[in-house]
């Protein structure tokens, strides 16, 4: 007997985050897009950190880049709100 698979989340990317993503080099874009797509099946993967001072905001590391997102469990939505290089990604939060 197999265990039931958890429901898949819908991943949405904020307009500002999408604009930042388009400005990055293609290899970096590909790695970030893969990580964002994986959030649909596992919204809180290993290594995820809750951001202190911000309710319900999480970050995942992808090399030197960070993806900041929120999870709406009742609606099964993962919303990417910001992303960028680790040196300046937290400046706008």
What is the predicted pLDDT for the residue at 24? 96
pLDDT score for 4: 67
The CATH fold assigned to 10-85 is YaeB-like fold (3.30.2310)
3-class SS letters over the chain: CCCCCCCCCEEEECHHHHHHHHHCCHHHHHHHHHHHHHCCCCCCCCCCEECCCCCCEEEEEECCEEEEEEEECCCCEEEEEEEEECCCCCCCC
Instruction: Please report the pLDDT score of residue 91 as a whole number.
Output: 86
Name the residue ranges covered by the structural domains of the chain: 10-85
pLDDT for the residue numbered 3 = 62
In the chain (93 residues long), the average pLDDT of successive 10-residue segments reads 73 96 96 96 93 92 96 95 93 79
- What pLDDT sits at residue 69? 97
């Amino acid at each position: 007997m197999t265990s039931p698979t958890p429901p898949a989340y819908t991943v949405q990317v904020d307009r500002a985050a999408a604009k930042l993503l388009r400005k990055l080099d293609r290899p970096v874009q590909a790695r970030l897009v893969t990580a964002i797509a994986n959030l649909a099946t596992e919204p809180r993967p290993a290594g995820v950190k809750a951001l202190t001072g911000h309710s319900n905001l999480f970050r995942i590391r992808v090399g030197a880049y960070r993806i900041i997102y929120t999870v709406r469990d009742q609606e099964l939505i993962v919303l990417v709100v910001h992303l960028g290089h680790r040196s300046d990604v937290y400046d706008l939060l």
